Structure 1
Amino acid sequence: MTTPSHALTVDAGSRDLRAADHLIQRLAAELALPEDVFGCTHLVRGDRPRVAVSFAFRSGAERDAVRDRLTARGYGVAPGVPDDTGRAVRYPGAAALTGTLTVAELLARSAITRVTVLGAPGAPDPGTPVVTADHVRPQWQRGDLVLTAQPASGGTLVPFEVPDPTPCCADH
Structure 2
Amino acid sequence: MSAPHGAPGVHSVIGVDAGTASLREADHLIHDLVARLGLPQGTIACTHLIRTDERRGTAVSFALPDAPTADSMWSRVVELEDLVMGAAVAGRSYGTEPAAHAAMLAAEEHAHRRGGRGVLYPGVDHLAGTVTVADLLALTAIGRLTVVGAPTADGPEPAAPVLTRDHVRPEWRDGQLTLALVPAAGGTLAPFEVPNPTPCCADHA
* Alignment partner of 1:62 is 2:69: yes
Letter in 2 for 1:78: A
TM-score, normalised via structure 2 length: 0.77
**3-state secondary structure, aligned to 1:72:** coil
- Aligned residue number for residue 45 of structure 1: 51
Could you tell me which of 145, 148, 153 is aligned with 1:118? 148
Letter in 1 for 2:122: P
TM-score, normalised via structure 1 length: 0.91
In terms of fraction of residues, the more helix-rich structure is 2
Letter in 1 for 2:140: S
- Which sections of structure 1, spanning at least 5 residues, go unmatched? 167-172
* Alignment partner of 1:3 is 2:8: yes
Letter in 2 for 1:13: G
Equivalences, count? 166
Could you tell me which of 118, 128, 138 is aligned with 1:88? 118
- Which sections of structure 2, spanning at least 5 residues, go unmatched? 1-5, 91-106, 199-205
Letter in 2 for 1:2: A
Q: CA deviation at 1:140?
A: 0.4
- Aligned residue number for residue 34 of structure 2: 28
**3-state secondary structure, aligned to 1:28:** helix
Structure 2: how far apart are the matches of 1:151 and 1:103? 13
Spell out structure 1 runs of 4+ moving beyond 6 A: none
* Alignment partner of 1:99 is 2:129: yes
Structure 2: how far apart are the matches of 1:79 and 1:63? 8
**3-state secondary structure, aligned to 2:141:** coil
CA-atom RMSD in angstroms: 1.6
